[in-house]
Structure 1
């Protein structure tokens, strides 16, 4: 009897303790509009510790705001060593984020396991960037800082003690019966005894994303050449073949800024030696120097798994995990010793001779390729934690290597996570769906990462051109020809159109560079979904059509998932077409919009139907849009090179734009060596427009030459 009473007492105490503990989250406002809560006992290793970044100064300057949720409705409970979290939802909220998704934008009602992995053609949480951050249409964001896999029920299930009890309906007689009743909470389960939680205020969803990115160090600032054009050559190319490829681009007048070498540059790969294959590249330093003289940077493919034939194998072996990947040992990059050995080798063999960056492969999944969850690592961190952070670690450590050498870099990576927005890497994968590429580009803005809809092997000239058009309105304009050896002019029938859009990419470099500067300094994603655009979904108008189409109210259009159009920078709306499409609908936010190419008015807060033809990707500019452009160049401007500007203005509004300038190559901007020049356009008494640009600041960079103005709207 005594033991039974003791057991009952312990059970009762446990239940009472659990109930009290569920309310025990202490919130502290650590920056304006950013609150940190500690629930239980968090793991000592998490996403922000892996990224190891300093929050951007602009975070401290953001507007103050009230805590955006009811703190009493945020619940934490520890159950069998696992953390349970619950966050309230209102009936009219939509959710965005939960990582880099490829097929869905709206996440409310989804069940996900956030798990670093290769995208397997299903949005189930297993993805290249399983960022545990979501943003609500109501204007707040939530980030759970854990390096463990997370089960997420994003408003998918109904609790019996729900604040808004489920309405019971009879399927037999009620036509409004739903298979998925209304749920008023986001619930998460994390295999840890506690977590850090961050809440971000708005007031708008974009403001919450800004705060999240700024907490992660701000967005990355690529070198100017990183925003030019890149071609990845065949995996077994030689130094002479690479030089011939670059010469062909020059001879045909196609822009090119950096070339990516695939596995064949290494003496052995899968696993890797990280050493040059002297049969293909007999004099690497001379080769890199010759390419640089042609205006071309070199980017190297690699993965981090060390071959027994690598010179660093024995030295790094004590700091590696228990299991092999591609028969190579896996450096535990959470240990400074492993990081130093690996990246000292990279620095000595590559960076010191002028290599500009990396494509870091295979740091995501599949399960059968990377280490299993039973693996152990000498740091003591679990295999799960290493997997969730490995993409962050390779980005962080390679980035710091370039910073030590005062060389900016821009590269590719297969995995990332929360905390990685400041690292100059763009995610890619082996998926071939053009439609999925655009959905991922939209979702990247909610996940704190960059994604490229790279141009890959295409079966037809139309597909090749359509892919090319979208890549020129993305973070990295890249052809990935490691297997196909395809070139921009592979399909002669569309080569002129491809050349035209590649030239447009280069002409727009002042705009792209300024938008990335806003990402860096202000946390505003350069490419983002329509839900983040001011005026989207406001005012219901009927569809404007050029043909007799079915009735489609604007309200219906803006509440569905918009997966095929996106914002590119402050002013541009991009509406790509896919292979086989000749017409499409475009949803214009409230406010006047103009055709990018002609300046003509196209609509205001409505759905338009367009038949644009094959030659151009549809792009629209909001009223007052200012787009700074430069003359077409085959390569990005060099440090100190003066560049003439043509500043375009669209529409009827007076407006202003911040144009960013620095040397484009080094980290001197971190020492204050940068400038913002304000562009203004104002309507005069006679109805014409006049533009002005602020004067250069003494002692600050000034790479601006002659300025001309073009007022696009008739």
Structure 2
């Protein structure tokens, strides 16, 4: 018998496994699964992924309505490989190409030249990939998007590594003599690595960045349409407030004539929090049902804080313990929400104690990080998932679970969450955190528009009245107008010297509800972010390049502005440009896109395709409307309109251009709109040869919801007749 030495045996084994691993990298070809959406499967994808956890269905009909071109990348320049249980990806990157997205970043927009470790975590002050929504999706200034669907941490090199076999090597320079020497030479690729033996890649054509983002959002089911009350004002009360404390606070809002649509009830409503019982504290809330009913009589909804970790003293504990992970969080067990049995147990408990008595939504806390208090990556779960996989999808799982409960009751909800990921656009949640930089809040709000998320810059406290007002102005032009007083009990009127200005901007938000609600309808039906970056606006995404490789700011005056990052201004809806001010500032620059733009408050021309410097004063947040902009508004009111109300409607027009605006409406609370119970009413501005600009309104659709008087007031803000 011939014996093979042990060294040779090991060599044969290694060769076999290397061959097997390389074989697993043999990928399928790109397949167009929906119009303008291509999929490539690499290796052997895992049983769970981000999109599988989200469980949403694409809005195929809406995707079909988007313009078509061709596959936006050179397929030969895309490389994939599975080696040693890891998947390596490489995508091409042109000179001058800007890359946006890759998670909820707080300081930067253009991610080119950055290294990111996409990892669900509490944001720690650096744009390093560890964030509340590390969505592995990027959109290019060239007008396409790429999604990597895997429930793993993904290390991403965005134009930072130069391969020896590159087709486009950087210029070789001598640092001793060449002033143009670069520490970061030009790289023509984006490279990613995930610890998985396979994954799915999706490419979304544009042909513009906005169209690519739309296609991505619609692929995930579209954006969420909140109930009308969710777009009003919310106050989150101190953590140990009782039912009587909260009712007293509601009365104070009435006395101060301040808007209020829903109250955030913080951890003290639980019989134990950190971890949670999800059961009412009988001392502070002896009659939960009566409390909720009393709030409802005052037109106020209740939103309950929670984290999903089950306390040993709660009635859920013995039912869920065998179905939970190997590690605890604050002595609470971590339920495996991928298991149908766990989903059923939670559904029964939450319906009985919350939804059936009228609770309107949740604030889902602590599903993001930090590492030292969440379960470690060595944790295991009954479903077989690792701690790493569960970390990436846990926020998605809790959002889906709770959203489904309300959907089954045909009741829309709106709440807060600390972690999300790809596929989360259709969930009724806005991301928030404990970080408190006002400027970075605005950068995050802008970045959320790249990745199919909503982010809110909440108000908590301030050192002075100016900062307080500036923060309140920003939240009133965000997805959720929120004051979070859980720690210090602040009120909108905590700084009396600016109480009137705070009230005024909060009422302005209420007046704009028809406009904001329509913007969210476009998010739901068309995938257009209701709050979107300037880089998605026409004219901001084309960077022209000269033969010497330098950017041509003459061919595109926004090229340099794009590279410098327009971080503190954004679009709200179709026509409105928001440019927040920050404490200590008296002036600021605003980059106006191509075309004429007008001051929202006066209707005066502000500029045309240029950078302007403004000095707006303290009282108002700077707002600009594009030429032809139509803004529908209602009278000032404290709460969102009810189901049967009919409201006066003012239609404002700015500039001199003819225009059309389609106003959306439905019952404001249910999902009946998905079955056709909604309306689009057209408002047109046309220029009459003798009479100047004239407004016309289409007849409201028969047997469709329409919450406004049929006789509207037309207001031409710019003297152009």
Q: Same fold (TM over 0.5)?
A: yes
1:543 alignment partner in structure 2: none
1:47 equivalent to 2:50? Answer: yes
1:33 alignment partner in structure 2: 36
1:548 alignment partner in structure 2: none
1:627 equivalent to 2:610? Answer: no
Q: Distance in 2 between matches of 1:113 and 1:384?
A: 13
Report if the CA contact (8 A) 2:160-2:187 is conserved. Answer: yes
Deviations 1:640-680 (A, max 9, x none): 21121101110111011111110000111121111111111
1:546 alignment partner in structure 2: none
Q: Distance in 2 between matches of 1:340 and 1:507?
A: 41
Query: How far is 1:536 from its partner?
Result: 2.8
Corresponding residue to 1:590 among 584, 587, 594 = 594
Deviations 1:432-456 (A, max 9, x none): 1001100000000011110000111
Q: 2:326 is paired with a residue of what secondary structure?
A: coil
Superposition pairs for residues 153-302 of structure 1, below 5 Å? 153-302=157-306
Corresponding residue to 2:118 among 94, 114, 120 = 114
Report if the CA contact (8 A) 1:306-1:329 is conserved. Answer: yes
Query: How far is 1:193 from its partner?
Result: 0.7
Q: 1:322 is paired with a residue of what secondary structure?
A: strand
Q: Distance in 2 between matches of 1:537 and 1:146?
A: 29
Query: How far is 1:698 from its partner?
Result: 1.9
Report if the CA contact (8 A) 1:537-1:590 is conserved. Answer: no
Report if the CA contact (8 A) 1:535-1:591 is conserved. Answer: no
Relative distance call for 1:285 and 1:100 in structure 2 (3 A) is same
Deviations 1:374-405 (A, max 9, x none): 11100111111111001101111100000111
Corresponding residue to 1:406 among 404, 410, 415 = 410
Q: Distance in 1 between matches of 2:65 and 2:207?
A: 15
Report if the CA contact (8 A) 2:590-2:612 is conserved. Answer: yes
Q: Which runs of 4+ in 1 moved over 6 A?
A: 1-23, 537-540
Q: 1:503 is paired with a residue of what secondary structure?
A: helix
Query: How far is 1:311 from its partner?
Result: 1.0
Q: Distance in 1 between matches of 2:26 and 2:439?
A: 44
1:697 equivalent to 2:706? Answer: no
Q: 1:289 is paired with a residue of what secondary structure?
A: helix
Q: Distance in 2 between matches of 1:556 and 1:527?
A: 23
1:132 alignment partner in structure 2: 136
Q: Distance in 2 between matches of 1:5 and 1:331?
A: 47
Corresponding residue to 2:714 among 685, 696, 709 = 709
Report if the CA contact (8 A) 1:363-1:391 is conserved. Answer: yes
Report if the CA contact (8 A) 2:24-2:44 is conserved. Answer: no
2:366 alignment partner in structure 1: 362
Q: Distance in 2 between matches of 1:411 and 1:160?
A: 49
Q: 1:479 is paired with a residue of what secondary structure?
A: strand
Query: How far is 1:133 from its partner?
Result: 0.2
Relative distance call for 1:330 and 1:18 in structure 2 (3 A) is closer
Corresponding residue to 1:498 among 483, 490, 502 = 502
Deviations 1:609-636 (A, max 9, x none): 1111100000100111111111111110
Q: 2:581 is paired with a residue of what secondary structure?
A: coil
Superposition pairs for residues 556-571 of structure 1, below 5 Å? 556-571=560-575
Q: Distance in 1 between matches of 2:23 and 2:214?
A: 34
Q: Distance in 2 between matches of 1:538 and 1:306?
A: 51
Deviations 1:49-99 (A, max 9, x none): 100011123123333320000111110111111000000011120000001
2:493 alignment partner in structure 1: 489
Q: 1:442 is paired with a residue of what secondary structure?
A: helix
40-49 vs 52-61, which deviates more?
A: 52-61
Report if the CA contact (8 A) 1:266-1:272 is conserved. Answer: yes
Q: Distance in 2 between matches of 1:119 and 1:601?
A: 40
Q: RMSD across aligned C-alpha pairs, in angstroms? A: 1.9
Report if the CA contact (8 A) 1:679-1:692 is conserved. Answer: yes
Q: Distance in 2 between matches of 1:167 and 1:20?
A: 36
2:436 alignment partner in structure 1: 432
Q: 2:38 is paired with a residue of what secondary structure?
A: strand
Q: Distance in 2 between matches of 1:588 and 1:608?
A: 7
1:549 alignment partner in structure 2: none
Query: How far is 1:237 from its partner?
Result: 0.6
1:85 equivalent to 2:89? Answer: yes
Relative distance call for 1:162 and 1:538 in structure 2 (3 A) is closer
Report if the CA contact (8 A) 1:539-1:605 is conserved. Answer: no
Instruction: Name the count of aligned residue pairs.
Output: 703
Corresponding residue to 1:353 among 354, 357, 369 = 357
Query: How far is 1:17 from its partner?
Result: 8.4
2:663 alignment partner in structure 1: 659
Query: How far is 1:7 from its partner?
Result: 8.4
Query: How far is 1:707 from its partner?
Result: 1.1
Q: Distance in 2 between matches of 1:81 and 1:556?
A: 42
Report if the CA contact (8 A) 1:18-1:77 is conserved. Answer: no
Relative distance call for 1:178 and 1:401 in structure 2 (3 A) is same
Q: Distance in 2 between matches of 1:180 and 1:342?
A: 51
Query: How far is 1:699 from its partner?
Result: 2.1
1:670 alignment partner in structure 2: 674
Deviations 1:459-502 (A, max 9, x none): 11001000000000000000000011000111000000000000
Gap regions ≥5 residues in structure 1? 541-552
1:517 equivalent to 2:521? Answer: yes
Q: Distance in 1 between matches of 2:345 and 2:692?
A: 63
Superposition pairs for residues 509-658 of structure 1, below 5 Å? 509-536=513-540, 555-658=559-662
Q: 2:637 is paired with a residue of what secondary structure?
A: coil
Report if the CA contact (8 A) 1:139-1:201 is conserved. Answer: yes
Q: 1:217 is paired with a residue of what secondary structure?
A: coil
Corresponding residue to 2:397 among 393, 398, 405 = 393
Deviations 1:175-196 (A, max 9, x none): 1100000000000001011110
TM-score (norm 2): 0.95
1:547 alignment partner in structure 2: none
Query: How far is 1:589 from its partner?
Result: 0.7
Superposition pairs for residues 100-111 of structure 1, below 5 Å? 100-111=104-115
Report if the CA contact (8 A) 2:142-2:541 is conserved. Answer: no
Q: Distance in 2 between matches of 1:125 and 1:608?
A: 34
Q: Distance in 2 between matches of 1:331 and 1:20?
A: 37
Gap regions ≥5 residues in structure 2? 545-556
Query: How far is 1:8 from its partner?
Result: 8.3
Q: Distance in 2 between matches of 1:685 and 1:392?
A: 56
1:455 equivalent to 2:459? Answer: yes
Query: How far is 1:325 from its partner?
Result: 0.5
